[in-house]
């Protein structure tokens, strides 16, 4: 007979299973386990007292058998094991909840990043968001595991106080009073910890932001020889961070040392009170009370840890909450917030695709808070240079005199100091130098029909990009009552090239289904077929983070191909053809804009006036006003448009004489491989030699990014030795012996204090008075406090020295690492060293070392004490030690490799997170947010797989160690109750007091030992960067320093130069012999891969010449330091790099040049009028009523957003030009420096 099943039962079971796996349910369960564990441990002294009384009564023959003693022994051992079991369940579930919370918040931060508006993006730059994700969430994760201690704290306190009052009466009140006073002091110190931690996180944010800036822009830092300036800035902020961190550690160490010695102090006060009131108790009451005071001390020790981690987490939550509460960007193209003014009408039959009527558009004021890096960081002083221990940065006196003479000449002469006239009229034609700030677009009226090819043009900074952002819905209408924007189809904005760390194909398809016919059409239309043929694995070639293996033109065309493949109906292109030459530009216009996309609506913002005739409509922007029409119409009606065309024709005439087929910027070393010739590796359906593959092949020849090398086996003793050497500081070679001596003395004082108490209780020396016992007892009690405090302070000092030295050395080595290393190492992997790994050095290692050294010393002291009283116990020690070491070694091997695996997986999370932040604009434009969120979820899951396993192995160890602890307690108890050595009740109480403490000490010791080794992975990883990273040639060679006036003429000679990027690659320069004479303007042209960029790399020694030599003014550049070489040259790269801060900092981060020189450089580029210099230089940001918003757009104190996002591409190139002009070098290298102007 079949029993009918009740579906309700199945639903209830599913509900219960769901509830049991819910994080909140798990967390509540962990709290219950902790509460029960605290109850068990607080009641265990009752059993201890009964055992001591049993021994005493046996002495007086009250008990004739051992039955009661054996029964009490097994109860005590069971309590020890149950307590350990409950604690293990607590830690396992609480730590799992912490990991889950971290994963949830990581995803929340990423999702919020996609929604920030302009002001929030300025307030939370990528460096700060990275700091939130790495450092703050790690602290929240840690704190969640400790917070149940705060909730359950009253349980052991109330039980212990009640039993104390019962045991020793009112005398307990003195000890309890000291305990309560200590509790108040700890809470007050925790508040101080909270305020200090708030300061620390600010400096941590600055340091991480600086590191991110260094890693993103290391090539330009090398070009301008700014390595030491950045290292000095990092050293300054790091030293400030470490000063506050040391304050935190001193406070924490004081709390911990005081808590560890509190049982001695509280029991001392209580027992002296008992003696003073003539109310001495029995050994059972005394030593069970001692155990209770130890429980109270353990509670007060755990409470500050929980409160301190809670304070750190609270700061992290506040910072995360500020980010998650930041204002969001509302895309009215997707959300019809105002149906009248701004709506999407998906109507293909409608001829008009975009219509703007009487609309005003203005950018938000993102600089309301003016939150910038500390400007004092860039005041590079001699003391800061000494910190770096790498020589000194100098401006020789003769150079300074020359600058002063030049300044005097500039003040009296009218011509430009840079060798050309500053034509104000010409400059104003190409820039908006007369306007203080771009105020926005006013009264825009524009109609774009379906299928039209519209070109937007205008001078630099006129608002071309702003109009595109307005059409895309990013720039908001500021007059919604009158203005109107109608968009009738799917729209896509394609702006600055962003390249994913993926293959060429993956960058183009960008998550869309692969259509080979469409794919080939896009490649041809974007002129990418020849480029893909040259790649080692065709379109399966991994092109590296930030597109490091591609030239500027190739990145622009892949970016263009991605937009075409997305198949949007309306395409907005922002200056996408500036990075290609005129021939490629005409191919793209003919075959892409007027070919493949001829049925799409295309809006192109460009300064290339030669393609205006291809447009169906031209939009000219002049001082925020928008004019549209055909070229003849605009030329007739608008005088400024006519001037712009005349100026462009002059430039075009010169450009036509340049026969370059691609931009000067070049593929880097990883692309220097012969083109594919094996037809089997190409798609059967591909055009001959096109080089793209249909199959999923993992051809290693196409890989760029190297896998992270994960160390194996135990941490090398070399790492420990170096860590100790760096931490020795003022103690030198005596650091370790002195520290071990302090540990020995502190442990001896602690154990001897309680031993002396047993002497006092049993009157071991009958001829001595109570005053004698009290005096020694008090002296050793205070010596315990003093030496424990000194021990912990020295440990904090050594750990701080090591952390600071390793971090700064790693920073120095990264700054001087060859570009080949940077090109093959993901930014997130490097950043992981300076966020999570550095945080481990700063906080976790010191904490875990303290929790390992003190319990280990105590265990050794307890074993020695037990052996002295019970010699037979010595027989069991080797067996217990073997079991302990076997479990520890077995666990360590697994835990170490799991931790390394977790660290490797964490790097992948950081890589993806950082890459997503960098490409945020592109990802949002293509609507690919969910793809990157899923990718983030995948990496988080892989990281947590290793983390969960790490937690489980920790608990496995602790359960087995609790078994050893129970065996240890069983042996001691049985030896005591069977009177094998006729020890007294006081001695029994002393031993049982310490044996009961072993319940958590043994597992804590092994867990902390393993945690130390796990955290030493961070030391190992930073040690690799600090000491084993490949380095460039010597930065400063004093003996080979060139003359002060070098180069005097700028005569460059290449003699039989052979250069290749790696030993297994072919030469890219083969016997190059060429001379560049002083004053010549030399243009270098050639196909991609011809070696144009290699000449620049050889000149700057980014890659060392293998054969031959390069001379400048007769001096072999390979014999001088890199600083002397690079600091005497100037370069303007194709991709202009601007750093967050001010324009002044971007022009002269060293503070080497006077203000007037900087103003003249800006004037020479046309960004400001030379006549404006006296007025602009008189306007200071410190003046009352003067804000950054009211400054001229190119004032030296004007703010620069992260990556210069508040400037157009053309403006950024002109600022980069001014940066080069400031140096007034005899040799100037231009890498397509005017492609966007």
164-195 tens-digit pLDDT: 888 777 777 887 888 788 778 877 887 788 78
Calculate helix-pair angle for 283-324, 227-276, nearest 10 degrees.
Answer: 150
Burial class (CB in 10 A: 0-12, 13-18, 19+), 1111: middle
Is the model's pLDDT at 1115 over the cut of 80? yes
Residue 164 lies inside a defined structural domain of this protein: no
- Does residue 542 sit in the same domain as residue 617? yes
pLDDT of residue 590: 86
Is the model's pLDDT at 719 over the cut of 70? yes
Is the model's pLDDT at 1034 over the cut of 80? yes
pLDDT of residue 907: 79
CA 648 to chain centre: 45
Residue 703 lies inside a defined structural domain of this protein: no
State mean pLDDT over 1193-1212.
Answer: 78
- Does residue 1159 sit in the same domain as residue 1196? yes
Quickly list H helices, 373-450: 382-388, 397-412, 424-430
Is the model's pLDDT at 510 over the cut of 90? no
pLDDT of residue 409: 43
State mean pLDDT over 745-772.
Answer: 83
- Does residue 505 sit in the same domain as residue 606? yes
Split at pLDDT 50, 70, 90, the class of 846 is confident
Q: What is the pLDDT of residues 1084-1114, one digit of tens each?
A: 877 655 677 788 888 989 888 988 999 999 8
Burial 1129-1147 (b: 16+ CB within 10 A, else e): bbbbbbbbbbbbbbbbbbb
- Does residue 457 sit in the same domain as residue 553? yes
State mean pLDDT over 391-399.
Answer: 39
Q: Residue 850 and residue 859: Cα distance in Å, rounded?
A: 14
Is the model's pLDDT at 333 over the cut of 50? no
Are residues 817 and 966 in contact, defined by beta-carbon separation less than 8 angstroms? no
Residue 1217 lies inside a defined structural domain of this protein: yes
Are residues 1133 and 1216 in contact, defined by beta-carbon separation less than 8 angstroms? yes
- Does residue 1116 sit in the same domain as residue 1136? no
Site of tokens 């309560």 = 180
C-alpha neighbours within 13 Å on the C-beta side of residue 929: 14
Site of tokens 């140096």 = 1223
pLDDT of residue 744: 93
Residue 616 lies inside a defined structural domain of this protein: yes
How many structural domains comprise the chain? 3
Boundary residue ending a domain (562, 595, 623): 623
pLDDT of residue 1228: 87
- Does residue 459 sit in the same domain as residue 582? yes
β-pair partners for 1107? 1058
- What tokens appear for 1184 in the block? 């009352």
Split at pLDDT 50, 70, 90, the class of 407 is very low
Is the model's pLDDT at 940 over the cut of 60? yes
pLDDT of residue 687: 34
- Does residue 1199 sit in the same domain as residue 1115? no
Phi, psi of 980 (to 5 degrees): -65, -30
Q: Residue 921 and residue 46: Cα distance in Å, rounded?
A: 67
Split at pLDDT 50, 70, 90, the class of 684 is very low
Least confident of 27-41, 685-699, 761-775, 1091-1105: 685-699
Residue 555 lies inside a defined structural domain of this protein: yes
User: Which CATH number fits the domain that encloses residue 1230?
Assistant: 3.40.50.300
pLDDT of residue 282: 62
- What tokens appear for 960 in the block? 């087995």
State mean pLDDT over 738-750.
Answer: 91
State mean pLDDT over 589-606.
Answer: 87
Boundary residue ending a domain (623, 643, 674): 623
Residue 525 lies inside a defined structural domain of this protein: yes
- Does residue 1206 sit in the same domain as residue 1145? yes
Closest CA to 1102 of 821, 687, 834, 910: 821
Q: Residue 713 and residue 894: Cα distance in Å, rounded?
A: 10
State mean pLDDT over 622-651.
Answer: 78
More confident residue, 1036 or 690: 1036
Split at pLDDT 50, 70, 90, the class of 1033 is confident
The range of the structural domain enclosing residue 537 comes to 441-623
pLDDT of residue 36: 92
Q: What is the pLDDT of residues 1053-1075, one digit of tens each?
A: 999 999 887 776 778 888 889 99
- Give the torsion sign (CA, 194, 195, 198, 204): negative
- Does residue 584 sit in the same domain as residue 517? yes
Query: Containing H/E element for 1157?
Result: helix 1155-1164
Residue 573 lies inside a defined structural domain of this protein: yes
Residue 715 lies inside a defined structural domain of this protein: no
Is the model's pLDDT at 668 over the cut of 70? no
- Does residue 458 sit in the same domain as residue 545? yes
Mean pLDDT of the chain: 77
Least confident of 180-189, 277-286, 605-614, 757-766: 277-286
- Does residue 475 sit in the same domain as residue 570? yes
Is the model's pLDDT at 956 over the cut of 90? no
Q: Residue 143 and residue 313: Cα distance in Å, rounded?
A: 6
- Does residue 1192 sit in the same domain as residue 1053? no
Is the model's pLDDT at 949 over the cut of 80? yes
β-pair partners for 622? 625
Q: What is the DSSP letter of 842?
A: I
Is the model's pLDDT at 1167 over the cut of 80? yes
State mean pLDDT over 480-487.
Answer: 82
- What tokens appear for 111 in the block? 């999702």
State mean pLDDT over 814-819.
Answer: 90
Pairing state between β 352-361 and 491-494: unpaired
Diameter over CA atoms, the chain: 124
Is the model's pLDDT at 493 over the cut of 70? yes
């Amino acid at each position: 007979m079949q029993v009918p099943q009740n579906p309700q039962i199945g639903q209830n079971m599913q509900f219960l299973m769901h509830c049991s796996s819910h994080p909140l349910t798990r967390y509540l369960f962990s709290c219950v386990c902790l509460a029960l564990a605290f109850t068990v441990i607080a009641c265990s002294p009752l059993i201890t007292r009964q055992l001591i009384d049993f021994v005493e009564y046996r002495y007086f023959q009250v008990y004739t058998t051992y039955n009661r003693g054996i029964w009490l022994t097994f109860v005590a051992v069971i309590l020890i094991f149950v307590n350990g079991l409950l604690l293990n369940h607590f830690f396992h579930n609480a730590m799992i909840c912490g990991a889950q919370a971290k994963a949830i918040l990581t995803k929340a931060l990423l999702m919020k990043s996609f929604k920030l508006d302009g002001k929030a993006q300025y307030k939370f730059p990528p460096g700060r968001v990275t700091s939130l994700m790495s450092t703050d969430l790690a602290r929240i994760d840690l704190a969640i595991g400790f917070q149940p201690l705060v909730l359950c704290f009253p349980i052991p306190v109330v039980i212990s106080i009640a039993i104390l009052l019962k045991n020793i009466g009112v005398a307990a009140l003195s000890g309890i009073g000291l305990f309560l006073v200590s509790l108040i002091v700890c809470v007050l110190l925790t508040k101080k910890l909270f305020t200090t931690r708030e300061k620390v996180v600010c400096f941590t944010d600055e340091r991480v932001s600086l590191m991110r800036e260094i890693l993103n822009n290391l090539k330009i830092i090398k070009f301008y020889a700014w390595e030491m300036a950045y290292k000095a800035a990092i050293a300054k902020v790091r030293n400030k961070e470490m000063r506050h961190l040391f304050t935190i550690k001193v406070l924490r160490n004081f709390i911990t040392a005081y808590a560890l010695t509190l049982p001695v102090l509280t029991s001392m006060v209580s027992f002296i009170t008992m003696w003073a009131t003539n109310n001495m108790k029995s050994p059972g009451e005394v030593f069970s009370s001692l155990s209770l005071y130890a429980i109270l001390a353990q509670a007060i020790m755990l409470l500050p840890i929980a409160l301190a981690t809670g304070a750190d987490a609270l700061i992290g939550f506040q910072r995360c909450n500020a980010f998650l509460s930041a204002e969001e960007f509302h895309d009215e193209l997707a959300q019809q917030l105002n149906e009248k003014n701004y709506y999407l009408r998906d109507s293909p039959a409608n001829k008009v695709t975009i219509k703007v009527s009487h609309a005003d558009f203005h950018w938000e004021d993102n600089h309301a808070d003016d939150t910038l890096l500390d400007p004092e960081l860039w005041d590079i002083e001699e003391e800061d240079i000494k910190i770096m221990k790498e020589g000194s940065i100098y401006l020789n006196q003769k150079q300074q005199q020359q600058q002063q003479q030049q300044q005097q000449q500039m003040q009296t002469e009218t011509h430009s100091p840079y060798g050309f006239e500053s034509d104000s009229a010409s400059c104003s034609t190409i820039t908006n130098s007369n306007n203080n700030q771009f105020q926005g677009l006013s009264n825009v009226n524009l109609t774009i029909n379906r299928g039209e090819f519209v070109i937007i043009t205008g001078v630099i900074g006129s608002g071309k990009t702003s109009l595109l952002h307005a059409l895309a819905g990013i720039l908001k209408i500021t007059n919604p009552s009158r203005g109107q924007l109608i968009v009738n189809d799917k729209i896509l904005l394609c702006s600055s090239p962003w390249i994913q760390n993926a293959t060429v194909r993956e960058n183009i398809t960008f998550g869309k289904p692969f259509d080979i016919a469409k794919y080939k059409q896009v490649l041809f239309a974007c002129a990418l077929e020849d480029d893909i043929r040259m790649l080692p694995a065709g379109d399966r070639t991994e092109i590296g983070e930030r597109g490091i293996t591609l030239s500027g033109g190739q990145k622009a065309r892949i970016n263009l191909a991605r937009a075409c493949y997305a198949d949007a109906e309306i395409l907005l292109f922002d200056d996408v053809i500036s990075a290609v030459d005129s021939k490629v530009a005409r191919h793209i216009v003919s075959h892409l804009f007027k070919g493949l996309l001829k049925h799409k609506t295309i809006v192109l913002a460009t300064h290339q006036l030669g393609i205006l005739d291809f447009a169906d409509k031209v939009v000219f922007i002049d001082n925020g006003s928008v004019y549209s029409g055909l070229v003849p119409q605009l030329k007739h009606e608008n005088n400024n448009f006519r001037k712009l065309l005349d100026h462009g024709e002059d430039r075009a005439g010169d450009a036509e004489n340049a026969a370059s087929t691609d931009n000067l910027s070049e593929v880097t070393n990883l692309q220097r491989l012969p083109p594919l010739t094996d037809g089997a590796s190409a798609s059967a359906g591909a055009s001959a030699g096109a080089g793209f593959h249909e199959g999923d092949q993992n051809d290693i020849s196409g890989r760029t990014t190297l896998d992270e090398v994960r160390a194996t086996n135990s941490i090398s003793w070399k790492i420990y030795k170096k860590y100790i050497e760096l931490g020795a500081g003022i103690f030198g070679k005596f650091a370790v012996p002195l520290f071990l001596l302090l540990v020995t003395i502190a442990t001896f004082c602690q154990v001897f204090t309680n031993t002396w108490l047993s002497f006092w209780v049993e009157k071991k020396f009958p001829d001595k008075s109570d005053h004698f016992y009290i005096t020694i007892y008090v002296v050793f009690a205070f010596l315990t406090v003093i030496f424990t405090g000194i021990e912990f302070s020295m440990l904090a000092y050594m750990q701080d020295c090591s952390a600071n030295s390793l971090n700064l050395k790693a920073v120095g080595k990264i700054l001087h690492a060859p570009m080949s290393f940077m090109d093959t190492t993901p930014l997130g992997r490097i950043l992981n060293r300076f966020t999570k790994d550095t945080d481990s050095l700063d906080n976790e290692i010191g904490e875990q070392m303290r929790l390992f050294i003190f319990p280990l010393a105590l265990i050794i002291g307890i074993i020695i004490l037990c052996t002295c009283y019970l010699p037979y116990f010595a027989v069991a020690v080797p067996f217990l030690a073997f079991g302990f070491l076997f479990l520890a070694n077995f666990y360590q091997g697994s835990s170490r490799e799991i931790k390394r695996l977790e660290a490797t997986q964490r790097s992948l999370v950081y890589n993806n997170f950082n890459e997503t932040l960098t490409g945020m604009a592109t990802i949002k434009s293509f609507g690919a947010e969910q793809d990157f969120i899923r990718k983030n979820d995948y990496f988080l899951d892989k990281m947590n797989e290793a983390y969960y396993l790490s937690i489980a192995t920790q608990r496995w160890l602790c359960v087995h160690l609790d078994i050893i602890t129970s065996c240890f307690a069983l042996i001691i108890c049985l030896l005591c109750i069977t009177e094998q050595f006729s020890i007294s009740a006081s001695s029994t109480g002393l031993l049982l007091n310490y044996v009961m403490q072993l319940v958590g000490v043994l597992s804590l010791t092994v867990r902390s030992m393993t945690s130390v080794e796990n955290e030493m992975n961070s030391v190992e990883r930073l040690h690799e960067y600090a000491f084993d990273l490949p380095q460039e040639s010597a930065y400063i060679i004093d003996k080979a320093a060139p003359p002060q006036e070098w180069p005097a003429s700028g005569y460059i000679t290449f003699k039989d130069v052979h250069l290749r990027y790696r030993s297994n690659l072919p030469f890219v320069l083969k016997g190059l012999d060429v001379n560049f004479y002083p004053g010549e303007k030399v243009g270098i042209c050639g196909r991609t891969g011809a070696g144009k960029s290699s000449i620049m790399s050889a000149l700057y020694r980014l890659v060392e010449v293998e054969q031959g030599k390069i001379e400048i003014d007769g001096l072999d550049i390979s014999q001088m330091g890199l600083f002397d070489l690079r600091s005497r040259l100037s370069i303007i790269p194709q991709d202009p790099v601007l750093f967050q801060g001010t324009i002044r900092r971007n022009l002269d981060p060293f503070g080497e040049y006077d203000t007037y020189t900087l103003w003249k450089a800006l004037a020479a580029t046309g960004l400001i009028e030379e006549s404006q210099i006296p007025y602009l230089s008189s306007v200071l940001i410190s003046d009352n009523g003067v804000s950054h918003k009211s400054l001229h757009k190119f004032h030296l104190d004007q703010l620069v957003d992260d990556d210069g996002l508040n400037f157009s591409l053309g403006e950024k190139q002109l600022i980069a030009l001014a940066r080069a002009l400031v140096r007034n070098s005899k040799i100037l290298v231009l890498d397509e420096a005017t492609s966007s102007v």
